Amino acid sequence: MSGAEAARTTPSIGTTKQEPGAGGQDGRVRLERFIRPTALGIDPYNAAHHDYAWRRRDLARLMSNESPIPPSPHIIQAAAEALADSNLYPNSGEDLRARLAAFAGVPFDSIVLGNGSTEVIDVIARIFLDEGDEAIIPIPTYAFFETQTRSQGAIPVLVELGPDFELDVGAIARAITKRTKLVFLCSPNNPTGNAWTSAQLREVLALGVPVVVDQAYLECGDSESFAPLVGEHEHLVVTRTLSKAFGLAGLRVGYAVASPRLADTIARLRIPFSVSLVALRAGMAALEDLDDLERRRRYIISERRRVQRALEADPLVRPHPSEGNFILFDVRGLGIPAEEVVDRLQADGMLLRAMKAHRLKGAFVRLTIGTAEQNDRFLAAFARLRESVAGGPAPA
């Protein structure tokens, strides 16, 4: 959509009263004259499913790739103690950066904190992308890449993954033009669940364009960390988070791993004090107990494999292998749209996501791995759904 089209299709939002003649004939300022056209044309993130989930705590929350395991008492105590100092601004998080650097195996000055990895991805987009630039985004993937590209007035160049969602480095290479400023990757990839290898990433890096790899789900399985590669490739940024396997999604602690020079640039543009004191202290406590993280990782892997095997036994659905805390499965064999599958499961007590917003063609549903009890409830509900649409249970 052009700026002119955006202005024509966006309703007036200016309501500030001015002296007659200062704005339109009715004395109002027309804010569209001053707002960047790209800002008017962006679709906001739709948090309706989160709002609904908070209102309906009786439903199994299996739609947002959150951890089903709440923070440990050690983390809760650290966060609670931080509240006593919440009249003060937080520090810069140097202690947490040092702990994350050791955890990721990189130098201290390669770590930049963020209010979730979403903040650092936003800053990276603002650093590299300008009006008319291009960012290559292999799809289906994390929708935030496309949103932040468009927010800068840049053009998302969407390159489809292969038939089984494999990374097509050749297609990425063919999509590069003189306007390409970024390549966005996600490993393990949301929503498909598969991960890329360091060999594949090196091929992409060899194309000579800055690359961002979101590794939010790294600690949920056995996939490969790309953090050590930033020491070899100054044009690589890896983003990570404590939201997934660490189970701190509500506290919003993320970080970028980059070369010291690029990390310094990211730090200059991020919002000061964007990570709260409570989040900093909770993050430190989480990194003090890596045995707890390992228990969480093993739980996710074990339950994911159990649910995967149950879905694989049904010839009408096709679950895809995953290294995340979720499973993507193809429901075309049921003969009903993915949205209807989600609606019927919601009526049976659980929240899942259909994947149209992630640019997935066909009928796909994504299931977050929950507690063992929630996973059992899902399998029972799905069996009832399957029997109602297929006229019988799955073969034993």
The tens digit of pLDDT for each residue in 59-101 reads 889 999 999 999 999 999 999 999 999 999 999 999 999 999 9
Computed over every residue of the chain, the mean pLDDT equals: 91
Which has the closest alpha carbon to 159: 359, 327, 355? 359
**Can you tell me the mean pLDDT for 95-120?**
98
Q: What is the three-class DSSP state of 107? A: coil
Does the pLDDT of residue 246 top 50, yes or no?
yes
Between these two residues, 46 and 95, which has the higher pLDDT value?
95
What pLDDT is stored for residue 6 in this prediction?
37
Among 57-61, 115-119, 193-197, 357-361, whose mean pLDDT is lowest? 357-361
What pLDDT is stored for residue 41 in this prediction?
74
**Can you tell me the mean pLDDT for 199-212?**
98
Residue 24's pLDDT band, with cuts at 50, 70 and 90, is: low
Q: What is the pLDDT of residues 173-186, one digit of tens each?
A: 999 999 999 999 99
What pLDDT is stored for residue 38 in this prediction?
79
Between these two residues, 13 and 43, which has the higher pLDDT value?
43
Q: What pairs with residue 136 in β-bridges?
A: 157, 183
Residue 26's pLDDT band, with cuts at 50, 70 and 90, is: low
What pLDDT is stored for residue 18 in this prediction?
44
Does the pLDDT of residue 4 top 70, yes or no?
no
Does the pLDDT of residue 290 top 70, yes or no?
yes
What pLDDT is stored for residue 210 in this prediction?
98
**Can you tell me the mean pLDDT for 130-136?**
97
The C-alpha atoms of residue 207 and residue 317 are separated, in whole angstroms, by: 38
Does the pLDDT of residue 295 top 80, yes or no?
yes
Residue 165's pLDDT band, with cuts at 50, 70 and 90, is: very high
**Can you tell me the mean pLDDT for 187-202?**
98
Among 44-58, 141-155, 218-232, whose mean pLDDT is lowest? 44-58
What pLDDT is stored for residue 16 in this prediction?
43
Does the pLDDT of residue 117 top 90, yes or no?
yes
Q: What tokens were used for 332?
A: 């075309």
Among 4-13, 259-268, 347-356, whose mean pLDDT is lowest? 4-13
Residue 357's pLDDT band, with cuts at 50, 70 and 90, is: confident
Domains and CATH numbers, the chain: 48-68+291-386 (3.90.1150.10), 73-288 (3.40.640.10)
What pLDDT is stored for residue 396 in this prediction?
65
What pLDDT is stored for residue 182 in this prediction?
98
